[in-house]
Structure 1
Amino acid sequence: MRQPTVAGQFYPLSPKTLKKEVSRCFNDIEITSRDVIGAVVPHAGYVYSGSVAANVYASLPKADTYIFFGPNHTGYGSPVAMSQDTWKTPLGEIETDKDIGTLLAGTIIDMDEIAHRYEHSIEVQIPFLQHRFGNDFKILPICMGLQDEETAVEVGQEVARAAKESGMKVVFIASSDMSHYVSAEHAERVDHYLIEAILDMDVPEVYRRRSEENITACGYGPISAMLSAAKEYGAKSTKLVKYATSGEVSGDPMVVGYAGIIVE
């Protein structure tokens, strides 16, 4: 069982308080399920990025399995690591997709729980899905410590292949914040520069622009893996549903950027 690591920090530990906080994130957002194949969502504390995340989750369709690509902030575990443990949040337990996991055996993606044990980037997403769909879905968490372009594309393509073979309805979700601890003006400029490449589904350009402007988005590999997987599923259009920074809540001059993007 993968126990929650950041409950009580990034989001409330009490189930009652967590339900209230997630509901607050969805305030004034119309829930309209769309034919979303992939998405980018932030993973900061709910008070900062929860409304950006909720704007994405409000658009997601019901799926059998939500496949998460998240960055590895801790450095623990395999370079590309899939979890097959049951995941627990204050709102209940969610099973991982063992069928797709089995179909990924022998690929670049290792089965390794250590990489996930203290990593927050995927954990914080699950209560949003539980708010929308109860506990009636599965997840496949993939944590990426290795984020180079070749690896990201291979991960996305392998996951798409396995998902197709499984016959399950899936949605691919990349967990990433954008710029970290820069001025709001700088964050807005470089984040939207990177977002343009994401909206064009142009993975090489994502890497080029990130390098050119030294953009500190932490999940550029997961974003690229998601885009690669979504393309295998015939994705045609993209939309930035919300952009915000932590400074809008904290009032601090140095901010972290958050983008919510859907791919259809």
Structure 2
Amino acid sequence: MGVKKMALAGSWYPESAKHCRAFIQKVLDEPKTGEDTKNCPDPVAGIVPHAGWVYSGQLACRVFYALTHGSRVVDTIALFGVHMHASSPAFVLDCTAVDTPLGAIEIDKVLTETLVTQAAGKGVDLNVLTLNRFPEENTLELQYPFIKYFFPKSRIVVCAVPPSTEAHTLGQAIVDAAEQSGRSLTVVGSTDMTHYGPRFGFEPAGSGQAAFDWVARENDAAAIEALTAMDENQVIRQGQSRHNMCCAGAACAAVVAAKKMGAVKGVCLDYASSFDPSEPAADFVGYCGMVFSV
């Protein structure tokens, strides 16, 4: 079936195992702002950002670290992502493994096939794409080194989820598929928050500090509130109406799966952005890291 090679190593994240490990260890050694992982007992799922590691890698790293504190040995990580429209078709990766600077991660073929069957039974045609047809996606690839580092023995399922009712279905289907396959599962949804500025064609609050304040305190805060409340319907609505989650389908599916696995609360570990006050007219993106615990 073949191994999906890295496409973004050396640009979006380090290309060597040494530098990946050094980045992760630096994050773990730094004093933390925001919530502590101790406030996330027995986590089963999370939300991670997917900008270059220099911008949001710290948040993604903290989420994956928090997910290691669950009470179960994790057999498989289900990773939801990909930039999609509501009418986009859902699809899943079919290959042997994905490569990372820290070594390859095996695709869980059994769980992938069971997910496709479960999805079909619930009315969703989940397209199966081989590695040559599967797109290069920062929403997914930037998470692979973290998965390999924190869950070195786990396999993965990699799925693209549109911001539609299919997100609800796939969130339920992955948990049912894991139960049917006898897998202990953790689910991760990959999304950034508001993309603001002329580059993105979204400037409802002007520019500079005022724009950042509106994004952080109102627009992204509304998305984080929906995620914290684990309101999957509001997650989709927020992403579509306020443009504050670029992969609302992935986030929704993670919330649905987390609730089905018994999660009762979402904890936002921290919020960050690429806003630079020295460049008040610049574009910027918001990021959050979220953990769902039982």
- Scaled by the length of structure 1, what TM-score is found? 0.89
Partners of 1:211 and 1:158 in 2: CA distance: 23
- Report which of the two structures shows the higher radius of gyration computed on alpha carbons: 2
Q: Are the counterparts in 2 of residues 34 and 60 from structure 1 also a CA contact under 8 Å?
A: no
* Amino acid in structure 2 at the alignment position of 1:177: D
Q: Give the Cα–Cα distance (whole angstroms) in 2 for the partners of residues 205 and 67 of structure 1.
A: 22
State whether residues 55 and 242 of structure 1, in contact with CA within 8 Å, keep that contact through their aligned partners in structure 2.
no
Question: Residue in 1 aligned with 2:251?
Answer: 223
Paired amino acid for 1:37: V
Corresponding residue of 1:155: 170
Q: Report the CA distance between 1:143 and its aligned residue.
A: 1.6
Q: What SS does structure 1 have at the residue aligned with 2:246? A: coil
Partner SS for 1:242: strand
Give the match for residue 65 of structure 2: 58
Cα offset, 1:161, TM superposition: 0.9
- Percent identity over paired residues: 30
Shift in CA distance, 208/104, structure 1 to aligned 2, threshold 3 Å: closer
SS at match of 1:89: coil
The one-letter amino acid paired with 1:97 is D
Q: Give the corresponding residue for 1:255.
A: 284
Q: Give 2:143's aligned residue.
A: 125
List runs of 5+ in structure 1 lacking aligned partners: none
Q: What is the Cα-based RMSD across aligned positions, in Å?
A: 2.3
- Measured at CA, do residues 177 and 157 of structure 1 come closer, stay the same or move farther in structure 2, by a change above 3 Å? same
* 2:134 paired with 1:116: yes
Show structure 2 runs of 5+ residues with no match: 198-210
* Post-superposition offset of 1:115: 5.6
* 1:81 and 1:115 in contact (8 A); partners too: no
1:11 to 2:21 alignment: no
Deviation larger for 250-259 or 87-96:
250-259
| 1-structure distance, mates of 2:245, 2:189 | 12
Give the 3-state SS of the residue equivalent to 1:37 in structure 2. Answer: strand
Q: 2:103 aligns with which of 92, 98, 102?
A: 92
Determine if contact 1:36/1:60 at 8 Å carries over to the other structure: yes
Q: May I ask how many residue pairs the two structures share in their alignment?
A: 257
Counterpart Cα distance in 2 of 1:22 and 1:220: 27
Is 1:141 paired with 2:158? yes
Query: Aligned partners of 1:92 and 1:186: how far apart in 2?
Result: 41
Matches of 2:269 and 2:50, distance apart in 1: 16
Note the C-alpha offset of 1:128.
1.3
Say if 2:238 and 2:244, in contact at 8 Å, map to a contact too: no
| Separation in structure 2 between the aligned mates of residue 255 and residue 90 of structure 1, nearest angstrom | 28
Does the 8 A contact of 1:152 with 1:224 survive in 2? yes
What's the counterpart of residue 236 of structure 2? 207
Mapped to 1, the partners of 2:107 and 2:41 lie a distance apart of 24
**In the alignment, structure 1 residue 167 sits paired with structure 2 residue 167:** no
